[in-house]
Amino acid sequence: MSVKATPTATATAGSKLLTPADHTLVMIDFQSQMAFATHSIDAVNLRNNAALVAQAAAGFKVSTILTTVAEKSFSGPMFSEIADAFPGQKMLDRTSMNTWEDAAVIDRVNEIGKPRIVLAGLWTSVCIVGPALSALDQGFEVYVIADACGDVSTEAHDRAMDRMVQAGARPMTSLQYLLELQRDWARGDTYELTTGIAKKVGGAYGIGINYAKSMFGAHEG
Protein backbone atom coordinates (compact mmCIF):
# COMPACT_ATOMS: atom_id res chain seq x y z
CA MET A 1 0.00 0.00 0.00
CA SER A 2 1.42 3.38 -1.01
CA VAL A 3 1.95 6.01 1.65
CA LYS A 4 0.82 9.52 0.83
CA ALA A 5 3.55 12.09 1.27
CA THR A 6 3.09 14.69 3.98
CA PRO A 7 2.36 18.06 2.35
CA THR A 8 4.62 21.02 2.96
CA ALA A 9 2.94 24.07 4.46
CA THR A 10 3.74 27.53 3.10
CA ALA A 11 2.66 30.94 4.39
CA THR A 12 0.54 31.66 1.33
CA ALA A 13 -3.19 32.04 0.70
CA GLY A 14 -5.22 29.19 -0.76
CA SER A 15 -6.23 29.51 -4.40
CA LYS A 16 -9.94 29.31 -3.60
CA LEU A 17 -9.88 32.52 -1.54
CA LEU A 18 -11.23 35.59 -3.31
CA THR A 19 -9.10 38.65 -4.06
CA PRO A 20 -10.39 42.05 -5.20
CA ALA A 21 -8.93 41.55 -8.68
CA ASP A 22 -10.02 38.00 -9.52
CA HIS A 23 -13.81 38.22 -9.65
CA THR A 24 -16.85 40.12 -10.85
CA LEU A 25 -19.56 40.90 -8.31
CA VAL A 26 -23.10 40.87 -9.71
CA MET A 27 -25.75 42.49 -7.50
CA ILE A 28 -29.18 41.48 -8.75
CA ASP A 29 -32.67 42.94 -8.25
CA PHE A 30 -32.29 44.63 -4.88
CA GLN A 31 -35.58 46.41 -5.59
CA SER A 32 -38.70 47.36 -3.68
CA GLN A 33 -41.12 44.95 -5.32
CA MET A 34 -38.76 42.04 -4.80
CA ALA A 35 -38.12 42.99 -1.18
CA PHE A 36 -41.83 43.24 -0.29
CA ALA A 37 -42.28 39.47 -0.67
CA THR A 38 -38.93 38.48 0.85
CA HIS A 39 -39.42 36.61 4.14
CA SER A 40 -36.31 34.46 4.58
CA ILE A 41 -34.47 37.49 6.00
CA ASP A 42 -35.89 40.67 7.51
CA ALA A 43 -35.64 43.87 5.50
CA VAL A 44 -33.28 45.61 7.93
CA ASN A 45 -30.70 42.80 7.83
CA LEU A 46 -31.08 42.44 4.08
CA ARG A 47 -30.41 46.13 3.44
CA ASN A 48 -27.55 46.15 5.93
CA ASN A 49 -25.86 43.13 4.33
CA ALA A 50 -26.37 44.50 0.83
CA ALA A 51 -24.78 47.77 1.95
CA LEU A 52 -21.82 45.90 3.45
CA VAL A 53 -21.21 44.00 0.20
CA ALA A 54 -21.61 47.11 -1.97
CA GLN A 55 -19.31 49.24 0.17
CA ALA A 56 -16.70 46.48 0.32
CA ALA A 57 -16.75 46.03 -3.46
CA ALA A 58 -16.61 49.76 -4.13
CA GLY A 59 -13.82 50.32 -1.60
CA PHE A 60 -11.67 47.48 -2.90
CA LYS A 61 -12.42 48.45 -6.52
CA VAL A 62 -14.00 45.11 -7.36
CA SER A 63 -15.46 44.93 -10.87
CA THR A 64 -19.19 45.16 -10.17
CA ILE A 65 -22.33 44.80 -12.27
CA LEU A 66 -25.60 46.24 -10.97
CA THR A 67 -28.72 44.86 -12.62
CA THR A 68 -32.45 45.34 -12.15
CA VAL A 69 -35.57 43.73 -13.60
CA ALA A 70 -38.42 45.86 -14.99
CA GLU A 71 -37.26 48.84 -12.95
CA LYS A 72 -39.61 51.45 -14.42
CA SER A 73 -42.68 49.29 -15.04
CA PHE A 74 -42.84 47.02 -11.99
CA SER A 75 -40.01 46.42 -9.53
CA GLY A 76 -38.80 49.91 -8.64
CA PRO A 77 -35.30 51.33 -8.11
CA MET A 78 -32.24 49.60 -6.73
CA PHE A 79 -31.74 49.98 -2.96
CA SER A 80 -30.12 53.33 -2.28
CA GLU A 81 -27.52 51.59 -0.09
CA ILE A 82 -26.18 49.96 -3.25
CA ALA A 83 -26.66 52.79 -5.72
CA ASP A 84 -24.95 55.25 -3.38
CA ALA A 85 -21.83 53.04 -3.22
CA PHE A 86 -21.46 53.26 -7.00
CA PRO A 87 -22.41 56.85 -7.91
CA GLY A 88 -23.09 57.27 -11.60
CA GLN A 89 -22.85 53.57 -12.45
CA LYS A 90 -25.45 52.44 -14.96
CA MET A 91 -28.03 49.90 -13.85
CA LEU A 92 -28.50 47.20 -16.46
CA ASP A 93 -32.26 46.67 -16.61
CA ARG A 94 -33.57 43.33 -17.87
CA THR A 95 -36.75 41.53 -18.83
CA SER A 96 -35.30 38.07 -18.15
CA MET A 97 -35.52 36.52 -14.70
CA ASN A 98 -32.18 34.81 -15.36
CA THR A 99 -29.54 37.54 -15.49
CA TRP A 100 -27.26 35.23 -17.48
CA GLU A 101 -29.72 35.30 -20.40
CA ASP A 102 -29.45 39.08 -20.75
CA ALA A 103 -27.12 40.11 -23.58
CA ALA A 104 -26.10 43.44 -22.02
CA VAL A 105 -25.08 41.75 -18.76
CA ILE A 106 -23.12 39.04 -20.58
CA ASP A 107 -21.38 41.63 -22.74
CA ARG A 108 -20.24 43.34 -19.54
CA VAL A 109 -19.14 40.04 -17.95
CA ASN A 110 -17.02 39.30 -21.02
CA GLU A 111 -15.66 42.84 -21.15
CA ILE A 112 -14.49 42.57 -17.54
CA GLY A 113 -13.08 39.10 -18.21
CA LYS A 114 -12.76 37.67 -14.70
CA PRO A 115 -12.97 33.88 -14.10
CA ARG A 116 -14.99 34.11 -10.90
CA ILE A 117 -18.53 35.39 -10.41
CA VAL A 118 -19.86 36.45 -7.00
CA LEU A 119 -23.65 36.78 -6.74
CA ALA A 120 -26.01 38.53 -4.34
CA GLY A 121 -29.64 39.50 -4.76
CA LEU A 122 -33.35 38.71 -4.79
CA TRP A 123 -34.81 36.11 -5.02
CA THR A 124 -32.39 33.28 -4.28
CA SER A 125 -34.47 30.55 -5.95
CA VAL A 126 -34.99 32.44 -9.21
CA CYS A 127 -32.71 35.39 -9.87
CA ILE A 128 -29.65 33.87 -8.17
CA VAL A 129 -30.08 30.20 -9.09
CA GLY A 130 -30.44 31.11 -12.77
CA PRO A 131 -27.11 32.90 -13.24
CA ALA A 132 -25.30 30.63 -10.77
CA LEU A 133 -26.14 27.42 -12.63
CA SER A 134 -25.65 29.07 -16.02
CA ALA A 135 -22.22 30.49 -15.12
CA LEU A 136 -21.10 27.18 -13.64
CA ASP A 137 -22.19 25.42 -16.83
CA GLN A 138 -19.98 27.78 -18.85
CA GLY A 139 -16.88 27.15 -16.75
CA PHE A 140 -16.92 30.04 -14.27
CA GLU A 141 -16.29 29.63 -10.56
CA VAL A 142 -19.34 30.89 -8.67
CA TYR A 143 -19.64 32.23 -5.14
CA VAL A 144 -22.99 33.18 -3.55
CA ILE A 145 -23.24 35.62 -0.62
CA ALA A 146 -26.03 33.79 1.17
CA ASP A 147 -27.02 36.46 3.70
CA ALA A 148 -27.16 39.10 0.98
CA CYS A 149 -29.82 37.04 -0.78
CA GLY A 150 -33.43 36.44 0.19
CA ASP A 151 -36.56 34.64 -0.92
CA VAL A 152 -40.28 34.33 -0.33
CA SER A 153 -39.66 31.79 2.44
CA THR A 154 -36.80 30.26 4.38
CA GLU A 155 -37.54 26.96 2.64
CA ALA A 156 -37.22 28.56 -0.79
CA HIS A 157 -33.92 30.23 0.13
CA ASP A 158 -32.42 27.14 1.76
CA ARG A 159 -33.37 24.77 -1.07
CA ALA A 160 -31.97 27.23 -3.61
CA MET A 161 -28.68 27.40 -1.69
CA ASP A 162 -28.60 23.59 -1.51
CA ARG A 163 -29.16 23.33 -5.24
CA MET A 164 -26.35 25.77 -6.06
CA VAL A 165 -23.90 24.20 -3.63
CA GLN A 166 -24.65 20.73 -5.05
CA ALA A 167 -23.85 22.13 -8.50
CA GLY A 168 -20.51 23.52 -7.30
CA ALA A 169 -21.22 27.06 -6.10
CA ARG A 170 -19.40 28.22 -2.97
CA PRO A 171 -21.50 29.90 -0.25
CA MET A 172 -20.24 32.74 1.91
CA THR A 173 -21.57 35.65 4.00
CA SER A 174 -21.40 39.40 3.61
CA LEU A 175 -18.96 39.99 6.49
CA GLN A 176 -16.85 37.09 5.27
CA TYR A 177 -16.70 38.77 1.85
CA LEU A 178 -15.39 42.02 3.34
CA LEU A 179 -12.79 40.31 5.52
CA GLU A 180 -11.65 37.98 2.75
CA LEU A 181 -10.89 40.99 0.57
CA GLN A 182 -8.79 42.50 3.39
CA ARG A 183 -7.37 39.21 4.71
CA ASP A 184 -4.34 40.74 6.44
CA TRP A 185 -4.50 43.59 8.96
CA ALA A 186 -0.97 44.57 7.92
CA ARG A 187 -2.44 45.86 4.65
CA GLY A 188 -2.51 49.40 5.89
CA ASP A 189 -3.85 50.99 2.71
CA THR A 190 -7.24 49.31 3.19
CA TYR A 191 -7.25 48.92 6.99
CA GLU A 192 -9.33 52.03 7.69
CA LEU A 193 -11.66 51.19 4.81
CA THR A 194 -12.34 47.71 6.17
CA THR A 195 -12.80 48.69 9.80
CA GLY A 196 -14.82 51.74 8.76
CA ILE A 197 -17.29 49.59 6.81
CA ALA A 198 -17.45 47.10 9.67
CA LYS A 199 -18.18 49.87 12.19
CA LYS A 200 -21.05 51.17 10.07
CA VAL A 201 -22.71 47.97 8.87
CA GLY A 202 -20.76 45.09 10.43
CA GLY A 203 -23.25 44.32 13.19
CA ALA A 204 -21.88 43.18 16.54
CA TYR A 205 -18.39 42.91 15.08
CA GLY A 206 -18.50 46.59 14.19
CA ILE A 207 -19.73 47.49 17.67
CA GLY A 208 -16.77 45.55 19.08
CA ILE A 209 -14.33 47.51 16.92
CA ASN A 210 -15.82 50.79 18.11
CA TYR A 211 -15.62 49.64 21.73
CA ALA A 212 -12.05 48.39 21.53
CA LYS A 213 -10.78 51.51 19.79
CA SER A 214 -12.62 53.87 22.16
CA MET A 215 -11.79 52.11 25.41
CA PHE A 216 -8.31 50.72 24.79
CA GLY A 217 -7.03 52.25 21.57
CA ALA A 218 -6.96 48.71 20.20
CA HIS A 219 -5.77 47.98 16.67
CA GLU A 220 -6.22 44.69 14.79
CA GLY A 221 -2.71 44.89 13.34
* pLDDT score at 209: 86
* pLDDT score at 218: 67
Same domain, 113 and 206: no
Q: With respect to residue 15, please indicate whether it lies within any of the assigned structural domains.
A: no
* pLDDT score at 72: 79
**What is the domain-level CATH number for residue 36?**
3.40.50.850
Q: What domain range is 210 assigned to?
A: 187-221
Does the structure show a pLDDT above 80 at 9?
Answer: yes
Q: What average pLDDT does range 121-139 have in this prediction?
A: 98
Q: What average pLDDT does range 137-163 have in this prediction?
A: 98
Phi-psi region of 9 (alpha: psi -120 to 50; beta: other; left: phi over 0): beta
Does the structure show a pLDDT above 90 at 186?
Answer: yes
Q: pLDDT for 71-95, tens place per residue?
A: 777 888 999 999 999 999 999 999 9
Q: With respect to residue 2, please indicate whether it lies within any of the assigned structural domains.
A: no
Q: With respect to residue 201, please indicate whether it lies within any of the assigned structural domains.
A: yes
Q: With respect to residue 174, please indicate whether it lies within any of the assigned structural domains.
A: yes
Q: What average pLDDT does range 156-166 have in this prediction?
A: 98
Same domain, 50 and 152: yes
Question: Which residues, including other chains, have CB under 8 Å from residue 177's CB and lie 6 or more apart?
Answer: 18, 52, 53, 56, 118, 145
Q: pLDDT for 26-70, tens place per residue?
A: 999 999 999 999 999 999 999 999 999 999 999 999 999 999 998
Tally of structural domains, the chain = 2
* pLDDT score at 82: 97
